[in-house]
């Protein structure tokens, strides 16, 4: 779950999903189209066994099903070939669902930022999930989806923080070029075990974008150890090549407000629902 967070409002983060393996929650994820889920590569321990994975969409409480949620089987899995374990580059995976999903007020996709997009340090971003509330501390029944705001931290600043009071040589790069950080130098608020694969989202000119994927961290909410995320814009072409997500799904943060508004309205018409009803789009992933 989330450390230092609070309960979300049902339907407020409609892109959030829970990833399951053999019916048990293992990770978070996000809806990026009617048949594709974005998550972390390290969540996928059995890439050759897609039938073992399921995705709960519209989930709110981990241990209590609600009438607005559905569970869909995974048809195929694509993990980035560069990924080579925790902390390495390429901690990103795409899951193709066995059948297209119908969007509702509680089940909607998140916008993906183009490769050219940058986020300023201090930008207010949010993480959501059902993970631990502290190292080794499980989210209590009924395990309501949690949220917490974490400011964006640029890679260089994060790299410096991770070398404070560290036994690792300062010459060793810890924050990879496809990673960014979010959180506080003092700690207190962060993602934790069980939140992996979930989205880091930021509101730019009235539109929510997924800036990152929960990847790793040293402990949870520890001082000078902010959460580390796979930076989604880095993988625009990788995602597009596999999922055939239309390029218009990616929008530069430099777009004008009127342009953003037009795209939002067009998307709402396309989906047949109002995207203004909800703030968030989360999916839950489970393993084991």
Q: Which residues pair with 94 in a beta bridge?
A: 38, 78
How far, CA to CA in Å, does 184 sit from each of 121, 149, 151, 190?
Answer: 12, 10, 7, 8
Q: Which of 18, 25, 33, 42 is catalytic?
A: 42
**240 counts as catalytic:** no
**267 counts as catalytic:** no
- Indicate left, alpha or beta for 168 from its phi (over 0: left) and psi (-120 to 50: alpha): beta
Q: Which of 25, 30, 91, 215 is catalytic?
A: 91
d(C-alpha 176, C-alpha 88), whole Å:
7
- Listed in order, strand segments (DSSP E) in the chain are 2-3, 6-7, 16-21, 24-31, 36-39, 53-57, 70-79, 93-97, 124-129, 146-153, 179-182, 190-191, 199-204, 207-216, 227-231, 283-285
Q: Which of 18, 33, 196, 260 is catalytic?
A: 196
**256 counts as catalytic:** no
d(C-alpha 101, C-alpha 52), whole Å:
19
Active site residues: 42, 91, 196
């Amino acid at each position: 779950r989330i450390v230092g967070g609070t309960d979300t409002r049902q339907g407020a983060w409609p892109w959030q999903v829970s990833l399951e393996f053999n019916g048990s929650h293992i990770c978070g994820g996000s809806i990026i189209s009617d048949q594709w889920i974005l998550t972390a590569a390290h969540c996928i321990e059995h890439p050759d066994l897609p039938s073992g994975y399921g995705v709960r969409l519209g989930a709110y409480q981990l241990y209590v099903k609600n009438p607005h949620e559905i569970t869909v089987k995974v048809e195929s899995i694509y993990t980035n070939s560069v990924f080579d374990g925790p902390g390495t580059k390429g901690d990103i995976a795409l899951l193709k669902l066995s059948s297209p999903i119908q969007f509702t007020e509680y089940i909607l996709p998140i916008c993906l930022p183009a490769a050219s997009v940058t986020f300023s340090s201090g930008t207010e971003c949010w993480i959501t999930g059902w993970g631990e509330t502290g190292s080794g501390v499980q989210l209590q029944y009924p395990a309501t989806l949690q949220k917490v705001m974490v400011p964006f931290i640029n890679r260089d600043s994060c790299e410096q923080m991770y070398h404070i009071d560290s036994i690792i040589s300062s010459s060793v790069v810890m924050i990879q070029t496809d990673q960014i950080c979010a959180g506080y130098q003092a700690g207190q608020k962060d993602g934790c075990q069980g939140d992996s694969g979930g989205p880091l989202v930021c509101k730019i000119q009235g539109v929510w974008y997924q800036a990152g994927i929960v990847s790793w961290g040293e402990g949870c909410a520890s001082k000078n150890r902010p959460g580390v995320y796979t930076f989604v814009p880095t993988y625009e072409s990788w995602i597009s090549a596999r999922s055939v997500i239309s390029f218009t799904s990616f929008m530069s943060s430099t777009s004008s407000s009127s342009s953003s508004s037009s795209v939002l309205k067009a998307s709402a018409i396309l989906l047949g629902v109002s995207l203004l009803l909800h703030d968030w789009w989360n999916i839950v992933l489970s393993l084991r």
